[in-house]
């Protein structure tokens, strides 16, 4: 916490700097205060702020976010987020907690809430607007230092199983281990559990499940799934691990239903080019819905959960066997002695020091928690875990660059758009790929184009559906009309939209005429897009052209494990009592993962790890 001296000094400096500011002055374009109590001129100029309640609205991650800030003459008294559409359990950690921290510290220099950076930045920006309206100086408040807390207590915990990481794999492992009678401590560095699963599109492979059979697919098999995955992963998959996955994902899916995770059965199985059988389902409520269901079940399970607690070191007995983990939160350093440790810390996509090759330059859209903590702990001297395929990540071809190096996905909009009239073109205005080909095929084509990107072209009718399905607001990008990234060029004519997006308009007009001819004929003579995805010609404007860039969230490389989920060292031997699950494991997918695969592996490997550990501890 910030010291009293720092606070008093900051208030003194701010008072000196801001003395004499007009009490009634406000930023141009800002809303007037909701209420300004009457006061004398002397009282107004003596304080830092014009007392009252002020309102400001900024863009959050999913849409507009509104705050109300109440000021006395010399301090921020209260901050309330009155309206937002941020993700429950993720963005809401910022809306619920950050306002109180700003009031406590009287600073806009507070750290963003982990995992909710965009929401945090939106809150800070809105509060800064209100500070300006109240006659204060937001820049001075940003310079008020907030001292980082250091742990002052120590605590030792003894348990059967310590799980590091509370994403899909970690939560599932905790639930299953408690079912099997183990005492569990789960350590999560974020203020919430959910990980990559919670912010994913929320799709999962359910091959072999009763759900798949009930939805009409009874002839799928482990052999077929393995074959599809090996092909998609360039045969770099570890055969025994992809077989383990295929043999167990069906039972895992049915078990998840039993413990409260629900699937969108009404939406049905998805038809995907990567799969020879329909074997993917969406969770009800997407990834956020699945994350919430698992969090609720963890809470019921009896597992002890330490949030905002970062694991930093694995404990050993001096002979290479792992005996626990060291972790800490703001106030307490924990020594957790455990009979087994499961690392389920996710990937390393947000740690550029661990990325290799082309992955260093790809746009990232995954969780900020994916910093490779488990990888670093396991490969430390004295443990020496082995790794594989660290140079690969799962890249999708459908990202927009919302800030430098950071992407958002357009896939939720693209899916319905492909059933209407949307097409993909390159900068030269030409179609170069079947829009319903596999993600891998589209990505490989995209990387060969000018600027290593494609453009999504839509008429008004298709754009309206696409925009509504996205799950976040794009008005800011539309207003820029191609002048900044992400490029959302639009215009009443094809030529106007193309000019805004930087695409060859004359060639694009020809491409659209040709494509509409294919729609009328019922056959895509160039790229073989199926008639069921060519139901409408590209119609009247306005027209919209949206950039499509490679993005990634998931890393394919990681630790080497055996089929019992034991972590192996560089000599190929089991590291005693150490297990790994989820994205941290390398080699399951090869160099690329098909849709729904990563969530499926997370939950399947989490369940299998718990069962393997319970069996090992029972011996």
DSSP per-residue codes, 243-278: HHHHHHHHHHHHHHHHTT--B-TTT-PPP-TT-SS-
Residue 526 is given by DSSP the state T
Q: What percent of the chain has pLDDT over 70?
A: 92
Interatomic CA distance for residues 594 and 547, integer angstroms: 22
Pick the CATH number of 4-142 from 3.40.630, 3.30.70, 3.90.1010, 1.20.5: 3.90.1010
In 3D space, the residue among 75, 73, 69 whose CA is nearest the CA of residue 10 turns out to be 75
**Which CA distances in Å does 131 have to 18, 71, 139, 141, 325?**
12, 9, 10, 9, 44
How large is the average pLDDT for residues 514-540?
96
- Beta-carbon neighbour count of residue 461 at 10 Å? 14
pLDDT tens digits, residue range 579-615? Answer: 999 999 999 999 999 999 999 999 999 999 999 999 9
pLDDT tens digits, residue range 66-109? Answer: 999 999 999 999 999 999 988 777 788 899 989 999 999 999 98
- How big is the CA angle at 340 (ends 614 and 377), to the nearest 5 degrees? 140
Question: What is the number of H-type helices and E-type strands within the chain?
Answer: 19, 22
Determine the topology of domain 153-392+556-618 in CATH.
FAD/NAD(P)-binding domain (3.50.50)
Portions of the chain given CATH number 3.90.700.10: 397-552
Interatomic CA distance for residues 511 and 502, integer angstroms: 16
Contact (CB, 8 A) for 396 and 443? yes
In 3D space, the residue among 313, 339, 316 whose CA is nearest the CA of residue 326 turns out to be 313
Give me the count of residues in the chain: 619
Phi, psi of 58 (to 5 degrees): -135, 170
In 3D space, the residue among 587, 566, 602, 478 whose CA is nearest the CA of residue 241 turns out to be 587
* pTM of the entire predicted model: 0.76
In the three-class reduction of DSSP (H, G, I as helix; E, B as strand; rest coil), residue 502 is classed as coil
Portions of the chain given CATH number 3.50.50.60: 153-392+556-618
The number of angstroms, rounded, from the C-alpha of 547 to the middle of its chain's C-alpha atoms is: 20
The number of angstroms, rounded, from the C-alpha of 552 to the middle of its chain's C-alpha atoms is: 10
In 3D space, the residue among 122, 130, 39 whose CA is nearest the CA of residue 84 turns out to be 122
With bands split at pLDDT 50, 70 and 90, how would you rate the model's confidence at 319? confident
Sign of CA dihedral 591, 597, 602, 605: negative
pLDDT(463) > 50: yes
Architecture field, domain 397-552: Alpha-Beta Complex (3.90)
């Amino acid at each position: 916490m910030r010291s009293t001296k720092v606070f008093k000094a900051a208030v003194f400096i701010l008072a000196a700097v801001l003395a004499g500011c007009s009490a009634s002055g406000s930023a141009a374009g800002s809303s007037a205060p909701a209420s300004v109590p009457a006061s004398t001129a002397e009282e107004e100029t003596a304080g830092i702020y014009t007392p009252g309640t002020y309102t400001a609205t900024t863009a959050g991650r999913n849409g507009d976010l509104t705050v109300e800030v109440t000021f006395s003459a010399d301090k921020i008294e209260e901050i309330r987020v009155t309206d937002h559409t941020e993700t429950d359990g993720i963005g809401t950690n910022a809306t619920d907690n950050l306002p109180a921290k700003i009031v406590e510290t009287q600073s806009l220099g507070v750290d963003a809430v982990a995992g909710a950076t965009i929401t945090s930045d939106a809150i800070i920006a809105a509060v800064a607007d209100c500070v300006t309206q109240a006659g204060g100086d937001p820049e001075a408040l940003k310079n008020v230092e907030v001292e980082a807390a250091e742990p002052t207590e120590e605590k030792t915990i003894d348990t059967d199983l310590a799980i590091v990481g509370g994403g899909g794999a970690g939560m599932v492992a905790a639930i299953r281990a408690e079912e099997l009678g183990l005492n569990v401590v789960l350590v999560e560095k974020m203020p919430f559990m959910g990980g990559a699963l919670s912010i994913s599109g929320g799709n999962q492979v359910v091959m072999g499940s009763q759900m798949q059979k009930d939805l009409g697919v009874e002839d799928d098999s482990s052999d077929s799934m393995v074959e599809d995955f090996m092909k998609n992963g360039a045969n770099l998959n570890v055969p025994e691990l992809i077989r383990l996955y295929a043999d167990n994902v069906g039972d895992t899916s049915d078990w998840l239903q039993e413990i409260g995770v629900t699937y969108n059965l009404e939406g049905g199985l998805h038809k995907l080019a990567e799969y020879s059988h329909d074997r993917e389902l969406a969770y009800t409520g997407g990834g956020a819905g699945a994350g919430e269901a698992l969090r609720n079940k963890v809470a019921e399970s009896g597992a002890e959960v330490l949030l905002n607690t970062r694991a930093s070191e694995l404990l050993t007995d001096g002979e290479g066997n792992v005996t626990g983990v060291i972790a800490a939160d703001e106030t307490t350093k924990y020594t957790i002695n455990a009979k087994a440790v499961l690392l389920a810390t996710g990937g390393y996509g947000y740690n550029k020091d661990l990325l290799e090759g082309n992955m260093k330059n790809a746009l990232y859209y995954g969780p900020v928690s994916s910093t490779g903590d488990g990888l670093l702990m396991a490969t430390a001297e004295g443990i020496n875990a082995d790794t594989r395929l660290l140079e690969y990540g799962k890249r999708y071809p459908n990202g927009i660059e919302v800030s430098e190096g950071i992407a958002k996905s357009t896939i939720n909009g693209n899916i319905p758009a492909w059933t209407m009239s949307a097409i993909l073109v390159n900068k030269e205005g030409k179609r170069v790929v079947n829009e319903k080909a596999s993600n891998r095929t589209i990505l490989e084509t995209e990387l060969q184009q000018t600027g290593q990107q494609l453009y999504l072209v839509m008429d008004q009718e298709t754009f309206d559906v696409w925009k509504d399905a996205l799950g976040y607001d794009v008005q800011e990008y539309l207003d820029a009309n191609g002048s900044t990234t992400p490029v959302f060029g639009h215009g009443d004519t094809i030529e106007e939209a193309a000019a805004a997006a930087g695409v060859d308009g004359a060639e694009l007009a020809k491409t659209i005429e040709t494509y509409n001819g294919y729609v009328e004929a019922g056959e895509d003579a160039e790229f073989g897009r199926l008639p069921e995805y060519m139901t409408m010609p590209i119609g009247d404007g306005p027209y919209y052209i949206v950039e499509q860039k490679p993005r990634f969230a998931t890393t394919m490389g990681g630790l080497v494990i055996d089929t019992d989920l034991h972590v192996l060292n560089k000599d190929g031997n089991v590291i005693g009592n150490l297990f790994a699950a989820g994205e941290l494991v390398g080699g399951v997918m090869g160099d690329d993962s098909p849709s729904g695969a990563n969530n499926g592996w997370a939950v399947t490997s989490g369940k299998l790890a718990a069962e393997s550990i319970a069996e090992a501890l029972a011996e």
